[in-house]
A and B are shown apart, each in its own frame.
Chain A
Amino acid sequence: GESVGLHLPTLSVQEGDNSIINCAYSNSASDYFIWYKQESGKGPQFIIDIRSNMDKRQGQRVTVLLNKTVKHLSLQIAATQPGDSAVYFCAENGLSGNQFYFGTGTSLTVIP
């Protein structure tokens, strides 16, 4: 089966600092990757995505980096704010293209 993992289950950062959340994937055939944010009591919310023909993609305060050589994905959040406190999941589309496999999540806590 698919294996999507995260290096650290929890991460604490000071407000205003940059956050980096990492994710490793195992399926070299995956060509689409997504980061989701899940706040307590809510469903996951799309943050940013990247296709395998790209190495980097930027959004508003977020950047996703993809290293296909080592099958590694990272999410960078600039100037982290208290509202960024949540669990972050990476997901990949695996072999089928329509089934998305999620990692176990990293809990980000922002310290005021």
Chain B
Amino acid sequence: DAGITQSPRHKVTETGTPVTLRCHQTENHRYMYWYRQDPGHGLRLIHYSYGVKDTDKGEVSDGYSVSRSKTEDFLLTLESATSSQTSVYFCAISESIGWQGTGKLFFGSGTQLSVL
């Protein structure tokens, strides 16, 4: 999957607990994204990053935070997981032309998160 590794692949947690998902890339791409995928909603953008320490919110960012301290790693944190955050989470990366992402996203294999 284009040098993208997501961990863990599966996670079961309880409501109210913190959860961190990790995305690691070996492509040295500037842009990294976190999406969630739910039946009937397609993929929805949570947060994205356009460089180290540079992040921005997507359309469904409430309840999530992200950090990017190195080019290769993009972390997604659920500070206090809720059942509505049960979903499949995908990380994606893209090249950039100047400061603009190319839009051609390469996705990881996903993390299945279940919040009980």
Footprint of B on A, CB under 8 Å? 1-2, 4, 32, 34, 36, 41-46, 49, 89, 91, 93, 97-105
Q: Do the beta carbons of A98 and B105 come within 8 Å of each other?
A: no
Q: Do the beta carbons of A32 and B103 come within 8 Å of each other?
A: yes
Footprint of A on B, CB under 8 Å? 1, 31, 33, 35, 40-45, 48, 50, 56, 58-59, 90, 92, 100-101, 103-110
Q: Do the beta carbons of A34 and B103 come within 8 Å of each other?
A: yes
Chain A nearest Cβ from B55, distance in angstroms? 12
- When the two chains form the complex, which single residue of B42, B45, B107 contacts A99, counting CB atoms closer than 8 Å? B45
Q: Do the beta carbons of A102 and B43 come within 8 Å of each other?
A: yes
Chain A nearest Cβ from B67, distance in angstroms? 19
Contacts of A102 in B (CB 8 A): 35, 42-44
Chain B nearest Cβ from A29, distance in angstroms? 15
Contacts of B59 in A (CB 8 A): 1-2, 99, 101
Contacts of B35 in A (CB 8 A): 102
B39's nearest neighbour on chain A, judged by CB, is A104
Contacts of B45 in A (CB 8 A): 99-101
Q: Do the beta carbons of A93 and B103 come within 8 Å of each other?
A: yes
A103's nearest neighbour on chain B, judged by CB, is B42
A5's nearest neighbour on chain B, judged by CB, is B42
Q: Do the beta carbons of A42 and B100 come within 8 Å of each other?
A: no
Central interface residue in A36, A44, A89, A105, by most chain B CB within 10 Å: A44
